[in-house]
């Protein structure tokens, strides 16, 4: 079984922009977004993915991701719940960790969330000075919930 262990944080300043290693455009939608399981379709650059995730338990949850043909991903996005999530992901390597900073667009414009994946939920991490409040266990920041309750309506 695939397990994703991830912590999420808000950003408190723009210093992360000085350390960007990569920029990726993402578009993703949810075929199913109930808390017990989500089924996500994602277009990442020129590749498509189908991802099934289980319910979060702390910072962990089951995750299965499969590459699918780009044309299928584009068609499946049309079947997804609205709005579709649009964001640019910036990769920043700092303190021996890979940080993914998602800058949202569309109905979630203005929201910026940093994520870091861990090997173990209890791993100690040194937080960069641009990291703010931890929101790992706050469901309103889950991408699947941003479809139902976009940032522009908070």
List the catalytic residues.
30
Q: How many CB atoms lie within 10 A of CB 11?
A: 20
3-state secondary structure of 34: strand
Q: Give the residue carrying structure tokens 């290693």.
A: 21
3-state secondary structure of 13: coil
- Alpha carbon distance 154, 107 (integer Å): 11
- Cα distances from 70 to residues 46, 50, 62, 73, 74, in angstroms, run 7, 11, 24, 5, 6
């Amino acid at each position: 079984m695939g397990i994703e262990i991830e912590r999420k944080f808000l950003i408190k300043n723009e210093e992360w922009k000085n350390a960007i290693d990569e920029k990726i455009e993402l578009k993703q939608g949810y075929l199913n977004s109930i808390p017990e399981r989500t089924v996500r379709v994602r277009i990442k650059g020129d590749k498509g993915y189908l991802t099934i995730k289980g319910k979060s338990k702390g910072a962990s949850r089951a995750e299965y991701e499969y590459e699918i043909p780009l044309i299928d991903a584009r068609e499946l996005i049309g079947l997804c719940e609205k709005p579709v999530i649009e964001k640019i992901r910036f990769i920043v390597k700092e303190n021996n960790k890979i940080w993914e900073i998602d800058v949202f667009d569309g109905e979630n414009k203005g929201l910026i969330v940093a994520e870091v994946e861990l090997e173990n939920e209890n791993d100690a991490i040194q937080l960069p000075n641009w990291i703010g409040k931890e929101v790992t266990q706050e469901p309103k920041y889950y991408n699947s919930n941003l479809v139902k309750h976009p940032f522009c309506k908070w």
